């Protein structure tokens, strides 16, 4: 006896419902498994790969790192907690001079991992971005290029209540230094006594120049704006590293 068209479409509809239920169950099982993998207290997932764990500066870099950094930078307490995983600093009360000049979430920073620097009052965002730069790029590069650890970062300070320096006396826009959202780095010192300064070594053909150019390029991964000797002559002797901006890297 020939099948009626109605029987076929009913069976087809049943098959589709069955397939959808199977898929829904698979998605639910996978989702629950992923949730358990991240949230279970005894998860075997390393913290660096676990989206529920906060940023630890010393964790290896993974595809989650920049997202975790963004999350840490979004709240003042999370920034301080992340900074505490690697750095020598003291939290400070906010500095409020005016609408244009202040340091919110202020820290007094003395060390980034094993790297020292002259104590500087800056924003937690600058300190945390610097900590990531030192941990994941500068220390490995110091070993690879110069054969010794990075012992010290030389800098020209962070907070400075002033307008942007452009060479024009009419400039009225405020510098990111006026809110300590920038740090000026002028050189580096390494184990074994080697020293590098931007003004002397930037164009050098040897390892010192190579280290400086790597430092500039890698800073662009951690800061929102990176300006150096190739930007203009006002930056011939330092990197201007900024936690605000749209990715300028020169
Ligand atoms: Zn600067």
pLDDT by residue for the chain (250 residues), tens only, comes to 555 656 668 788 888 888 888 888 788 877 777 777 677 777 788 999 999 999 999 999 999 999 999 999 999 999 999 999 999 999 999 999 999 999 999 999 999 999 999 999 999 999 999 999 999 999 999 999 999 999 999 999 999 999 888 776 677 799 999 999 999 999 999 998 899 999 999 999 999 999 999 999 999 999 999 999 999 999 999 999 999 999 999 9
109 C-alpha to center of ligand 1: Å? 17
Per-residue model confidence (pLDDT) at position 8: 65
Q: How many CB atoms lie within 10 A of CB 76?
A: 16
What backbone phi and psi angles, to 5 degrees, belong to 232?
-165, 175
Per-residue model confidence (pLDDT) at position 244: 94
Write down the domain spans for the chain.
79-249
**Would you say the C-alpha torsion 10, 15, 19, 21 has a positive or negative sign?**
positive
57 C-alpha to center of ligand 1: Å? 24
Per-residue model confidence (pLDDT) at position 19: 85
Q: Which residues contact 52 (CB under 8 A, 6 or more apart)?
A: 38, 39
234 C-alpha to center of ligand 1: Å? 9
241 C-alpha to center of ligand 1: Å? 7
197 C-alpha to center of ligand 1: Å? 16
143 C-alpha to center of ligand 1: Å? 27
Residues 35, 215: Cα–Cα separation, whole Å: 38
227 C-alpha to center of ligand 1: Å? 8
85 C-alpha to center of ligand 1: Å? 26
Burial of residue 53 (number of CB atoms within 10 Å: 0-12, 13-18, 19+): middle
Q: How many CB atoms lie within 10 A of CB 36?
A: 11
147 C-alpha to center of ligand 1: Å? 29
158 C-alpha to center of ligand 1: Å? 7
Per-residue model confidence (pLDDT) at position 33: 73
Q: What fold, for 79-249? A: Muramoyl-pentapeptide Carboxypeptidase; domain 2 (3.30.1380)
Per-residue model confidence (pLDDT) at position 149: 96
Residues 213, 147: Cα–Cα separation, whole Å: 17
pTM here? 0.86
216 C-alpha to center of ligand 1: Å? 14
Residues 156, 177: Cα–Cα separation, whole Å: 11
Per-residue model confidence (pLDDT) at position 124: 98
120 C-alpha to center of ligand 1: Å? 14
95 C-alpha to center of ligand 1: Å? 19
Residues 167, 177: Cα–Cα separation, whole Å: 16
238 C-alpha to center of ligand 1: Å? 8
Per-residue model confidence (pLDDT) at position 9: 81
175 C-alpha to center of ligand 1: Å? 8
CA dist 188 to 41, 118, 182, 212, Å?
41, 12, 18, 9
How many distinct helices (H) and strands (E) make up the chain?
Answer: 7, 11
144 C-alpha to center of ligand 1: Å? 28
14 C-alpha to center of ligand 1: Å? 68
159 C-alpha to center of ligand 1: Å? 9
13 C-alpha to center of ligand 1: Å? 67
């Amino acid at each position: 006896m020939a099948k009626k068209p109605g029987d076929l479409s009913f069976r087809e509809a049943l098959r589709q419902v069955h397939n959808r239920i199977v898929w829904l169950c698979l998605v639910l099982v996978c989702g629950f498994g992923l949730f358990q993998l991240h949230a279970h207290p005894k998860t075997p997932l390393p913290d660096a790969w676990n989206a529920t764990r906060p940023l630890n500066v010393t964790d290896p870099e993974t595809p989650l790192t920049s997202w975790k950094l963004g999350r840490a930078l979004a709240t003042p307490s999370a920034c301080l907690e992340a900074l505490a995983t690697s750095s020598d600093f003291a939290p400070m009360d906010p500095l409020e001079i005016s609408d244009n000049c202040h340091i919110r979430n202020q820290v007094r920073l003395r060390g980034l991992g094993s790297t020292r620097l002259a104590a500087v009052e800056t924003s937690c965002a600058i300190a945390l971005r610097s900590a990531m730069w030192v941990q994941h790029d500068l220390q490995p590069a110091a070993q690879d290029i110069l054969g010794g650890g990075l012992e010290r970062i030389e800098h020209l300070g962070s907070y400075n209540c002033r307008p942007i320096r452009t060479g024009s006396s009419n400039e009225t826009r405020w510098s990111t230094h006026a809110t300590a959202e920038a740090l000026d780095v002028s050189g580096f010192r390494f184990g074994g006594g080697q020293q590098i300064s931007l003004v002397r070594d930037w164009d050098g053909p040897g390892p010192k120049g190579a280290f400086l150019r790597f430092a500039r390029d890698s800073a662009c991964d951690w800061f929102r704006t990176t300006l150096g000797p190739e930007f203009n002559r006002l930056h011939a002797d330092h990197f201007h590293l900024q936690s605000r901006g749209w990715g300028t890297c020169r």
